[in-house]
Structure 1
Amino acid sequence: MKPGVSLGGLAAIVLVLAAVAGSFAYLDMPLGALFTGAAAGEAVAFVQRFFPPDLSADFLAKVGAAALETLAISLVSTLLAAVAGALLAMPAAGRQGRAVRRGARFALNLLRSVPELVWATLMVLAAGLGPFAGTLALALHTTGVLGRLFAEALENAPPAPAQALAEGGTPSVAAFLYGTLPLVAPQWLAYSLYRWEMNIRMAAILGFVGAGGLGGLLYYSLSLFHEAQASTVILAMLAMAIAVDGASAWLRRKA
């Protein structure tokens, strides 16, 4: 046995490998079939059906409208979540007592523990098909995520500036706005922009459950086996993700 390798570490490696092997056996995954000549030919034929993309003017207009809808869903949901998350972050950070703190943290845990696709399914049932359901779904999940991150930033912020203002007779709201908020605002902005990047991707995916946007158009194209149109939608998703990543990085540098 090599120096530095403990029996516990070796046992953990063996257990992990055994778990992986057992998982493959339990799922009955025929991985060997992926490396046959027939599988390679089918894969090539499948990819070829997606090229060239459909660049007709009518379909590009549909893609552009769906892309704007996806962008709007991500922006509105992130904005709503940032506002709601900030409101829940203050009690979750313990500023209104332990009982309120526990209630706020429970609400945040509940919101973020439910995946976006599950929220979207529930919101489609509650509000019907369309972008409104997708916006609500992303806003609910993102509120849980941002609220927790905002609360942690508040807990780690130095209390001295706000305490000094409060001791000087400044109202509690003004003490927070001028003593604490400037300290956490850069972190809150960075967290919000990061979640916007994620929501632009999720907004595209939520269309598969009827939440509108590029995902809905992609689902429609694939359902009809219009691979060329699906390829155009996928490229639009990629271009939008790259553009949003660049915009978010630029905004973080300027903040």
Structure 2
Amino acid sequence: MTSSRQKAANLRYRLPPPLFDARSRAAWLVLGVLALVVASFASLDLKLGSFLSGEALASMRKFLGEFVPPDTSPGFVAKVAQGAWETLAMSALGTVLAALAGVAMALPASRLPGAARGGVRLLLNALRSVPELVWASMLLISAGLGPFAGTLALAIHTSGVLGRLFAEAIENAPPGPAGALRIQGAGTLRVFLYATLPQVLPQLMSYTLYRWENNIRAAAVLGVVGAGGLGQLLMYHMGLFQMDKTATVLAAMLVLVAVVDGVSFSLRRWLTR
């Protein structure tokens, strides 16, 4: 009995193999990643010499000099502020719609058996596999130019992302409270509302706020295809080589992203306390 306990203790507290050892999975993984990086450099035509040449640096310095000073005329600043508000509204509404759709799809993706569950997960994969720009380009045909197409594009893509994250959170919820309610005769809906949801709600909110941070950046880019907001202003003035106005739009993007990141970080810290 004593020897078996000692063997069990030795197996339990056995040290991992050294890093540079044939049994070390971490070493093989690092070697594989390094081989992939080397193969990437070998296969891509990276003209680093031309990129770092004196002529290229001089051209870049001249180009960046055209951004200074930015256009701070009251009329244009008001126009940029309106575009920033449009971008913020697109990201917020798109994230809310995506969170609702994500919860609706996460429940069958985590609870349904067999093929039905696989079908819902396949739908989630399809929604998040298509980038927001592609969704916006397709939706422009039916929704027309403007923020409506951008909002729908954000909602569709983000619903696939949040649906997958929500499903995993629901699957990993501790089963104890749900089992206790089932023993008392509670139905599936009550078990979810009173046992599962309270446990995973902070995590769901954290995922939603994090995706809102990403969507504010995506919303600023969606305007490139005519989906409204700051991106549309950026594309328009860059196309006309009005770099002073372009600098103002870029500054507004930086400020908007920084504010949303700060607000989202504070809310996630508050939720996880």
TM-score (norm 1): 0.91
Aligned to 1:48: 65
Aligned to 1:91: 108
Q: Partners of 1:174 and 1:12 in 2: how far apart?
A: 47
Aligned to 1:65: 82
1:78 alignment partner AA:
T
Q: Partners of 2:32 and 2:159 in 1: how far apart?
A: 41
Identify the match of residue 43 of structure 2 among 1, 19, 22: 22
Q: Partners of 1:92 and 1:212 in 2: how far apart?
A: 33
Identify the match of residue 159 of structure 2 among 143, 160, 171: 143
CA pair 243-166 structure 1, distance change in 2 beyond 3 A: same
Helix, strand or coil for the counterpart of 1:200? helix
Aligned to 2:142: 126
Q: Partners of 2:176 and 2:253 in 1: how far apart?
A: 46
Matched, 1:239 2:260: no
Aligned to 1:101: 117
Helix, strand or coil for the counterpart of 1:4? coil
Q: Partners of 2:36 and 2:134 in 1: how far apart?
A: 33
Q: Partners of 1:13 and 1:72 in 2: how far apart?
A: 43
Aligned to 1:207: 223
Q: Partners of 1:179 and 1:103 in 2: how far apart?
A: 26
Bigger shift: residues 14-23 or 227-236: 14-23
Bigger shift: residues 3-12 or 70-79: 3-12
Matched, 1:187 2:195: no
Q: Partners of 2:165 and 2:35 in 1: how far apart?
A: 37
Q: Partners of 1:11 and 1:175 in 2: how far apart?
A: 45
**CA deviation string 1:152-197 (max 9, x = no partner):** 0000001221222122122321221011000000100000000000
1:201 alignment partner AA:
R
Residue correspondences, number: 248
Identity %: 53
Helix, strand or coil for the counterpart of 1:80? helix
Aligned to 1:197: 213
| Structure 2: runs of 5+ lacking an equivalent | 1-18
CA pair 46-84 structure 1, distance change in 2 beyond 3 A: same
Helix, strand or coil for the counterpart of 1:143? helix
CA pair 133-48 structure 1, distance change in 2 beyond 3 A: same
Q: Partners of 1:127 and 1:220 in 2: how far apart?
A: 20
Aligned to 2:92: 75
User: 1:37 Cα shift?
Assistant: 2.4
Aligned to 1:32: 49
Query: Which one has a bigger Cα radius of gyration?
Result: 2
Q: Partners of 2:32 and 2:189 in 1: how far apart?
A: 56
1:21 alignment partner AA:
A
**CA deviation string 1:116-157 (max 9, x = no partner):** 111111111221111010001010110000000000000000
Bigger shift: residues 157-166 or 4-13: 4-13
User: 1:102 Cα shift?
Assistant: 1.3
User: 1:13 Cα shift?
Assistant: 4.3
Superposed CA RMSD in Å reads 2.0
Bigger shift: residues 156-165 or 78-87: 156-165
| Structure 1: runs of 5+ lacking an equivalent | none
